[in-house]
Amino acid sequence: MSARLALVDCNNFYVSCERVFDPTLEGRPVVVLSNNDGCVVARSPEVKALRVPMGKPWYQLQDLARQHNIMALSSNYTLYADMSNRVMTILAGLAPRQEVYSIDECFLDLQGVPGEATRHGQTMRTTLHRLLGLPVCVGIGSTKTLAKLANHVAKKNPHYGGVFDFSCFSASEQTRLLGGIDVAEVWGVGPRTAEKLAFLGIRSVLDLQRTRPETLRKGFSILHKRMIAELNGQACLQLAEVTPPRRQIVSSRSFGMRVLERDDLLEAVTMHAALAGEKLRRQGSVAGALGVFMHTNPFRVQDPQYSGHLTLPLHPATDDTLCLARVARRGVTRLFRSGFAYHKAGVMLMELQERRQTTGTLFESRAEQTRSRALMEIMDAVNRQMGRGTLRVLGEGLEQRWRARANRRSPRYTTCLDELPIANA
């Protein structure tokens, strides 16, 4: 029996999460904006119909927004992450194996699942809509690339009912279908690759499927050749049930105002060090080096420009937020230059390794290690239960005037007690 893989993808995920808790947004053109309410990062189908591209600056859409009553919302990543966790938990119970691919999509192995794959795909859709109110589409194929492509077909063709399975169609029907899909829709084919393929006369998915791998030589990688095999039903990409730990962890964000003072930079970088430390402990790693960076706004050409980056060693490697914050602040002190309006700053953790594989140094105190581990465990436990920032480093500041603008953010309905939705009977 050939493999059966499903790619489940939430439709317009950020916008759909907002609509779950605010039904007045249904049928209305909605966009979700990036940090500082700058650019469009998510669009409802109604906005897509207006041909608003991803990444369009919001200030350039003011006339169109007034004309079509477009609703703009600040990104609410706390809400989206929690809804994503709920989606993935539900889907994990509907298949024996799962690979979480991104915040809004995952691969599922349907081998051993009783019944017809298409019907099981419909079960996934109805279950997620009933429990979470989120719309999804399901693509089913014998390889990851085909499953991803099948999901695209399901989204673009509503008459399939949100589920498309390549195995349900004859070879001639598949040929007709693939001949009408642009090669740029293949998983892993970016704009530049699509241009190079078009130069070779490969413009549709069918063209690529029928291409001999040896044709793709100069300018193409082994991954592009594997695409051809995957499109022909030969699995080259295996399901990864365990997400590999990150090799680097970055925490940064643009400021909500022009930052001129060193104290504001110290607060921001301390906060990013704390966020990076949480991620580091979550994956069971320690960092051997920490990078600090800051820069002005390159788009404000009328302003003096400055960009600084510094990497500092961590001896011994650590996951202790207090240590990370101390080193990060040292980096800010060395990098800061007065007379500049800073636009963004952040922290990068490098030389990551598993905590359990690290060995101590001659000068480390076992008592200090135990105290550090206990303190971090308590901090993480409290913040998980009560919300991020309940316990934090004082150096993060109290007012945080520099935080990114989010004047249009919806409540954190599922994770903050003060912002729980209210039902009026």
pLDDT in tens, 58-89: 999 999 999 999 999 999 998 999 999 999 99
Cα separation, 88 vs 119, in Å, equals 19
For residue 358, the model assigns a pLDDT of 66
pLDDT over 60 (residue 33): yes
Lowest mean pLDDT among 155-164, 202-211, 242-251, 264-273: 242-251
For residue 401, the model assigns a pLDDT of 84
pLDDT over 90 (residue 221): no
pLDDT over 70 (residue 400): yes
Tokens 């919302």 identify what position?
73
pLDDT over 80 (residue 283): yes
pLDDT over 80 (residue 366): no
pLDDT over 50 (residue 335): yes
Lowest mean pLDDT among 84-98, 184-198, 268-282: 184-198
- Helices marked H in 50-103: 62-68, 77-92
Of residues 3 and 13, the one with the higher pLDDT is: 13
Lowest mean pLDDT among 44-58, 128-142, 406-420: 406-420
Looking at residues 290-311, what average pLDDT do you find?
A: 94
Report the mean per-residue pLDDT for the chain: 91
Q: Is the pTM higher than 0.85? A: no
Tokens 């320690």 identify what position?
286
- Closest of 130, 148, 144, 347 to residue 253, by C-alpha: 347
For residue 98, the model assigns a pLDDT of 94
For residue 213, the model assigns a pLDDT of 82
In this prediction, residue 369 has a pLDDT band, given cuts at 50, 70 and 90, of: confident
In this prediction, residue 269 has a pLDDT band, given cuts at 50, 70 and 90, of: very high
Looking at residues 86-97, what average pLDDT do you find?
A: 95
Looking at residues 400-421, what average pLDDT do you find?
A: 83
- Looking at the DSSP bridge assignments, the partners of residue 242 are none
For residue 425, the model assigns a pLDDT of 73
Q: Using one digit for the tens of pLDDT, what is the confidence trace for 161-204? A: 999 999 899 999 999 999 999 999 999 888 888 999 998 899 99
Q: What is the largest CA-CA distance in the chain?
A: 71
Q: Which residues contact 175 (CB under 8 A, 6 or more apart)?
A: 206
pLDDT over 80 (residue 303): yes
pLDDT over 70 (residue 361): no
pLDDT over 60 (residue 345): yes
Q: Give the number of other CB atoms < 10 A from CB of residue 414.
A: 18
Looking at residues 204-228, what average pLDDT do you find?
A: 85
For residue 237, the model assigns a pLDDT of 85
Q: How many helices (H) and strands (E) does the chain have?
A: 13, 13
Q: At what angle do helices 222-231 and 144-156 cross, to 10 degrees?
A: 70
H or E stretch including 385?
Answer: helix 366-386
In this prediction, residue 1 has a pLDDT band, given cuts at 50, 70 and 90, of: very low
Q: Give the number of other CB atoms < 10 A from CB of residue 245.
A: 14
pLDDT over 70 (residue 51): yes
